């Protein structure tokens, strides 16, 4: 199983809503990542978890709150987002961060 599964695939939320994005992998990878990708741009790193601990936070606003409940699961909690936060959110995982990252299909988020 070389899959990273993200749910939901699409999400529309209002600026006062609270929602969560979910990412799951069963490859035994111990590094998991959240990336944000705007149209026609490369992915931008948001957070890295290594062994379920937050190891990199790229100065992301607090309205994005990551959580890693266990080694297979990564969540991104969203609250009070702005329209400019609309983007494709990609989850990825890798074996201890020293091999290639495997990406999920992403969640297309629209903030209205």
Binding residues (CB under 8 A) for another protein: these are 30-31, 33, 40-43, 45, 48-51, 55-56, 58, 88, 90, 92, 94, 96-106, 108
Contact present, 57 and 38 (Cβ < 8 Å): no
Contact present, 18 and 79 (Cβ < 8 Å): yes
- 51/61 with CB nearer another protein: 51
- 29/85 with CB nearer another protein: 29
- 34/78 with CB nearer another protein: 34
Contact present, 19 and 8 (Cβ < 8 Å): no
Contacts of residue 34, defined as CB under 8 A and 6 or more positions apart, other chains included, come to 23, 45, 46, 47, 66, 74, 76, 89, 90, 91
Structure tokens at 6: 């993200």
| Shortest distance, position 70 Cβ to another protein, whole Å | 17
| Shortest distance, position 99 Cβ to another protein, whole Å | 8
| Shortest distance, position 33 Cβ to another protein, whole Å | 7
Give the single-character DSSP code of 1: -
Contact present, 25 and 70 (Cβ < 8 Å): no
- 12/15 with CB nearer another protein: 12
| Shortest distance, position 90 Cβ to another protein, whole Å | 7
């Amino acid at each position: 199983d070389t899959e990273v599964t993200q749910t939901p695939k699409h999400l529309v939320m209002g600026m006062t809503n609270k929602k969560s994005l979910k990412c799951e992998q069963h490859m035994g990878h111990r590094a998991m990542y959240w990336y944000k990708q705007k149209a026609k741009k490369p992915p931008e790193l948001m957070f890295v978890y290594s062994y379920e601990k937050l190891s990199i936070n790229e100065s992301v606003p607090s309205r994005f709150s990551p959580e890693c409940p266990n080694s297979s699961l990564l969540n991104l909690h969203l609250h009070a987002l702005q329209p400019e936060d609309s983007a494709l959110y990609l989850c990825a995982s890798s074996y201890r961060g020293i091999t290639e990252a495997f990406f999920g299909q992403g969640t297309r988020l629209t903030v209205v």
